[in-house]
Amino acid sequence: MATNTIKRGEFLRDGLNHKPLISPLKTFELGFFSPGVSTHRYLGIWYGNIEDKAVVWVANRANPLSDKSGVLTINNEGNLVLQDGNNITVWSSSSTESSSNNKNRVGAIHDTGNFELSETDTKRVLWESFNHPTDTFLPQMRVRVNSKTGDNLAFVSWRSENDPSPGNYTLGVDPTGAPEIVLWERNKTRKWRSGQWNSAVFTGIPNMSLLTNYLYGFKLSSPPDETGSVYFTYVPSDPTMLLRFKVLYNGTEEELRWNESVKKWTKFQSEPDRNWSRGCRRKTPLKCERNVSVGEDEFLTLKFVKLPDFETPEHNLVVPEDYLVDLQQFEAAGSSLHIRVANSEIEEKKKSKIAVIVGVLVGVILLGIFALLLWRFKRKKDVSGTYCCKNTDTSVVVVDVSKAKETSTPFSGSVDIMIEGKAVNTSELPVFSLSDIVAATDDFCRENELGRGGFGPVYKGVLEDGQEIAVKRLSGKSGQGVDEFKNEIILIAKLQHRNLVRLLGCCFEGEEKMLVYEYMPNKSLDFFIFDEMKQDMVDWKLRFAIIEGIARGLLYLHRDSRLRIIHRDLKVSNVLLDAEMNPKISDFGMARIFGGNQNEANTVRVVGTYGYMSPEYAMEGLFSVKSDVYSFGVLLLEIVSGKRNTSLRSTEHGSLIGYAWFLYTHGRSEELVDPKIRITCNKREALRCIHVAMLCVQDSAAERPNMASVLLMLESDTATLAVPRQPTFTSTRRNSIDVNFALDSSHQYLVSSNEITSTVVLGR
């Protein structure tokens, strides 16, 4: 039977029948292990009830056992001791506490990850692993720092991935000045620092106040205790959350949280995110440094600054003489810094400001003239839609589809693919008042803006009940418009699936038209896939889970929902990620509904994103479920490779599809896999994904699989995959689609880049 304690006279032995101590809720285990490929044995603590049993503490890190003869027990002095096969002590708790009866001492591993030696009768703790950490900081630890004695509790990295002996990097609170976390290299060179503690956050970590669920739990005890020490503690907002802070052997510090849905640790923060070791130097010397007189030096104020490091500890007086080390300016938070600069730099800024002011004034005048002309034009234009928002009886959106028909292909008959005159009432879609939205977004505060897309700006908001929301506000300059706005309401209000973004409501008052969505804290998929600094945060297991989620969302749209829907603008930036990194398809402004047994339709207005549109849609305006399959194939290649489809446009392959086909036909598909995950990924799954992608991007829509077949092929090791045909449409630069093409001079086409039509709900 598993136990969490070891008493005097009991032994925890390594070897064939080794059974670790297990905490009451099975959160942590204490026992013997060998890291990686090492054959040395160590006594340590690791997570117990999850798949990735990350080690958080090592007892004998500097003195490993050479075999499995190790034994942990409590000796006659009442100390925890680790001995080898020759009864030689290789590690001891070395408690200085004495007792008349050492037999009443017990060691216990707790669900916090703390291993304690205490007295059974008085419950007095004599020694605990939390006071002797290795490389990992866990919630409820007390990080000690004493400015009088210079003493602090430090976390030291491993020597390497397979060697837990003390490495080159140490993390701790600097005891010589204002409280801040510092990462030292070889105990003397500052590699990174957090910025000073302001009673709520560390000012040098720009995202700390934003990642409230993960990082906003630090507290500093005050006043100091009888020894002069103060303590930093961390308590997460969710006590069930598995979270750890680790100093890596390569000199970085990471905050990791266990993601149960994908069974892996997710990295939410990493420091330092860049190399600042060389500092910066003045561009223009000060007057006192030159032998000429060109006006008096002046002071320039920089706001939202992470204050620089100095060799001296007097942080209250900032008088740099040469280099400014680790100086950063953020978009928000931080401190104000007044820097003495040459007069010429101030004059340049003044001239620049004047030029900006003049430019803005001219722009405003021209914009006013344009707005007046546009207003006069709109007054003459027939109104095709009527909006009624706040009504004592009901609130509906009335859609006139007389001007919104699209004709099908010759072999499928003429149909309407919009909802014919059907209204969306508040029983299906709640309506928010403008005052509610204004209060939630702090009057559309600039700091709450998450991003901008073809629809307009997107704001983060918080409702009265505390629910976080994302608000899409239709812009007067929107590349989309009222038709797309109505279309998105009609469609997404009727859709409910875990892999589709959820529409919470809408708002129409006066000229304001807004959609209210659930808030996605992890931004969009392209934020991770195409950023070299964040690609390693999405390993293969997570990428494959995202691929499966997108496929299930598309299958729901095409087959399983109440309406049969073609998205028409599926791309990486339209895949949002929730707190658990689950994918959710978004942006239904371009989507269309198919009725009855309709399989295909065509349009005189081609909308979508370059690189994702199928050949028949881009060249003929013909779209179907197979158009979305093509887009999914492109998206699949991007997720696997970490490259944009258009990133290879200037190469001999013309596109990512062309490059993937070249590697596929030469038996080198593995080379397409993102180098960040190539070694650790499931090779069979990755190659199968590439094969499925090549089937999805075939030129002929009839030869592409439907999403049901795609999902089956992705999830089955035994499914037989057809041999794909060469996708000639994008196989060379010469045949690549041109953004400005036109099939008929009487038709207008809207073909755009990711930056234009992307309506992305971005987390901050």
Residue-wise pLDDT tens digits, 732-743 = 333 333 333 333
- Contact between residue 576 and residue 761 where contact means Cβ atoms under 8 Å apart: yes
Q: For the chain, how big is the Rg over CA atoms in Å?
A: 31
Question: Residue 46's beta-bridge partner residues?
Answer: 29, 55
Q: What are the Cα distances from residue 206, in Å, to 56, 171, 335, 728, 764?
A: 27, 19, 12, 47, 11
- Comparing 546 with 477, the larger pLDDT belongs to 546
Q: Which pair of structure tokens corresponds to residue 523?
A: 């931004």
What pLDDT does 764 receive?
35
Question: Residue 470's beta-bridge partner residues?
Answer: 460, 517
Question: Residue 368's beta-bridge partner residues?
Answer: none
What pLDDT does 616 receive?
85
What pLDDT does 595 receive?
58
Q: Is residue 361 part of a domain?
A: yes
Beta strands in 161-242, from DSSP E residues, in sequence order: 163-173, 181-185, 189-193, 218-220, 230-234
User: Is residue 690 predicted with pLDDT exceeding 70?
Assistant: yes
Same domain, 692 and 651: yes
Q: What is the mean pLDDT of residues 405-433?
A: 44
What is residue 202's DSSP assignment? Answer: B
What is residue 560's DSSP assignment? Answer: I
Return the amino acid letter for 717. Answer: D
Q: Is residue 733 part of a domain?
A: yes
Catalytic residue check, 569: yes
Return the amino acid letter for 220. Answer: L
Return the amino acid letter for 326. Answer: D
- Contact between residue 616 and residue 631 where contact means Cβ atoms under 8 Å apart: no
Q: Is residue 568 part of a domain?
A: yes
What gap in Å lies between CA 631 and CA 609, rounded to an integer? 10
Percent of the chain past pLDDT 70, that is, above it, reads 73
What pLDDT does 306 receive?
64
Q: Which pair of structure tokens corresponds to residue 237?
A: 């907002």
Same domain, 435 and 538: no
What pLDDT does 48 receive?
93
Q: Is the peptide bond before 223 cis (omega within 30 degrees of 0)?
A: yes
Stretch (H or E) spanning 80: strand 80-83
What pLDDT does 100 receive?
58
- Comparing 558 with 270, the larger pLDDT belongs to 558
Assign 312 a pLDDT band (cuts: 50, 70, 90): very low
Same domain, 364 and 497: no
Same domain, 631 and 487: no
Q: Which pair of structure tokens corresponds to residue 454?
A: 């073809």
User: Is residue 295 predicted with pLDDT exceeding 60?
Assistant: yes
Quick one: CA torsion of 202, 208, 212, 217, rounded to 10 degrees?
Answer: -30
* Domain final residue pick, 334, 364, 381: 381
Return the amino acid letter for 469. Answer: I
What gap in Å lies between CA 32 and CA 39, rounded to an integer? 12
Q: What is the mean pLDDT of residues 32-59?
A: 95
Q: Which residues does 324 contact at the CB level (< 8 Å), separation at least 6?
A: 279, 280, 308
Per DSSP bridges, beta strands 71-74 and 151-152 are: unpaired
What pLDDT does 486 receive?
72
Q: Is residue 513 part of a domain?
A: yes
- Contact between residue 280 and residue 327 where contact means Cβ atoms under 8 Å apart: yes
Q: What is the mean pLDDT of residues 76-81?
A: 92
Domain of 484: which CATH number? 3.30.200.20
What pLDDT does 499 receive?
94
What is residue 733's DSSP assignment? Answer: S
User: Is residue 549 predicted with pLDDT exceeding 90?
Assistant: yes
Q: What are the Cα distances from residue 455, in Å, to 37, 258, 407, 589?
A: 53, 35, 26, 8
Same domain, 654 and 707: yes
Q: Is residue 317 part of a domain?
A: no
Encode 629-644: b = buried (16+ Cβ within 10 Å), e = exposed: bbbbbbbbbbbbbbbb
Q: What is the mean pLDDT of residues 339-345?
A: 73
User: Is residue 401 predicted with pLDDT exceeding 80?
Assistant: no
Q: What are the Cα distances from residue 383, in Å, to 374, 378, 399, 550?
A: 15, 9, 11, 37
Q: What is the mean pLDDT of residues 516-537?
A: 88
What gap in Å lies between CA 182 and CA 145, rounded to an integer? 12
Q: What is the mean pLDDT of residues 89-111?
A: 82
Assign 476 a pLDDT band (cuts: 50, 70, 90): low
| Cα end-to-end span (Å), the chain | 47
Assign 398 a pLDDT band (cuts: 50, 70, 90): very low
- 382-395 pLDDT, tens digit per residue, is 333 333 333 333 33
Assign 599 a pLDDT band (cuts: 50, 70, 90): low
User: Is residue 148 predicted with pLDDT exceeding 80?
Assistant: yes
Q: Taking the alpha carbons of 72, 74, 79, 85 in that order, is the dihedral positive or negative?
A: negative
- Comparing 739 with 281, the larger pLDDT belongs to 281
**Number of Cβ within a 10 Å radius of residue 276:** 18
Least confidently predicted of 6-15, 150-159, 291-300, 643-652: 291-300
Q: What is the mean pLDDT of residues 456-483?
A: 80
The listed range with the strongest mean pLDDT (133-137, 242-246, 420-424, 727-731) is 133-137
User: Is residue 677 predicted with pLDDT exceeding 90?
Assistant: yes
Same domain, 609 and 700: yes
Assign 456 a pLDDT band (cuts: 50, 70, 90): confident
- Comparing 655 with 137, the larger pLDDT belongs to 137
Q: Where are the alpha helices (DSSP H) in 407-481?
A: 434-440
Q: Give the global pTM.
A: 0.47
Residue 739, CB-side half-sphere exposure with 13 Å CA sphere: 10
Q: If you average pLDDT over every residue of the chain, what do you get?
A: 78
**Number of Cβ within a 10 Å radius of residue 62:** 12
Same domain, 443 and 533: no
What gap in Å lies between CA 506 and CA 675, rounded to an integer? 43
Q: What are the Cα distances from residue 344, in Å, to 298, 333, 347, 659?
A: 9, 29, 5, 51
Helix and strand tally (H, E) in the chain?
A: 12, 41
Backbone angles phi, psi at 559, to 5 degrees: -130, -40
Domain of 714: which CATH number? 1.10.510.10
Same domain, 607 and 501: no
- Comparing 551 with 764, the larger pLDDT belongs to 551
Q: What is the mean pLDDT of residues 700-724?
A: 91
User: Is residue 195 predicted with pLDDT exceeding 90?
Assistant: no
Nearest to 564 by CA among 517, 611, 494: 494
Question: Residue 22's beta-bridge partner residues?
Answer: 29
Q: Is the peptide bond before 272 cis (omega within 30 degrees of 0)?
A: yes
Active-site annotation holder among 84, 569, 578, 587: 569
Q: What is the mean pLDDT of residues 438-447?
A: 91
What is the SS3 assignment for 370? helix
Q: Is residue 288 part of a domain?
A: no
Same domain, 376 and 396: no
Number of domains in the chain: 4
What pLDDT does 350 receive?
58
What gap in Å lies between CA 623 and CA 636, rounded to an integer? 20
Same domain, 590 and 630: yes
Q: What is the mean pLDDT of residues 572-576?
A: 93
- 602-613 pLDDT, tens digit per residue, is 554 556 677 888
Per DSSP bridges, beta strands 600-602 and 12-13 are: unpaired
Same domain, 629 and 695: yes
What gap in Å lies between CA 171 and CA 697, rounded to an integer? 49
What pLDDT does 452 receive?
78
- 165-179 pLDDT, tens digit per residue, is 999 999 999 888 778
Domain of 24: which CATH number? 2.90.10.10
What pLDDT does 758 receive?
35
Residue 729 domain boundaries = 526-757
- Counting Cβ atoms within 10 Å, is residue 163 exposed (0-12), middle (13-18) or buried (19+)? middle
What pLDDT does 716 receive?
87
Chain-centre distance for alpha carbon 134: 28
- DSSP 3-state percent helix, strand, coil across the chain (nearest 5): 25, 25, 50
- Comparing 728 with 676, the larger pLDDT belongs to 676
What pLDDT does 335 receive?
67
* Domain final residue pick, 518, 538, 564: 518
State the Cα angle at 73 between 47 and 83, rounded to 5°.
95
* Domain final residue pick, 360, 381, 402: 381
Residue matched to tokens 């047994």: 597
What is residue 13's DSSP assignment? Answer: E
Assign 207 a pLDDT band (cuts: 50, 70, 90): low
Nearest to 635 by CA among 721, 524, 723: 524
What gap in Å lies between CA 131 and CA 6, rounded to an integer? 19
Q: Is residue 22 part of a domain?
A: yes
- Comparing 235 with 205, the larger pLDDT belongs to 235
Q: What are the Cα distances from residue 100, in Å, to 77, 105, 306?
A: 10, 11, 54
Same domain, 504 and 653: no
Q: At what angle do helices 683-696 and 625-641 cross, to 10 degrees?
A: 140
What is residue 561's DSSP assignment? Answer: S
What pLDDT does 663 receive?
94
Nearest to 299 by CA among 333, 349, 334: 349
Q: What is the mean pLDDT of residues 133-147?
A: 93
Nearest to 731 by CA among 668, 642, 665: 665
What pLDDT does 368 receive?
83
Q: Which residues does 303 contact at the CB level (< 8 Å), separation at least 6?
A: 329, 334, 336
Q: Which pair of structure tokens corresponds to residue 385?
A: 């839609």
Q: Is residue 606 part of a domain?
A: yes
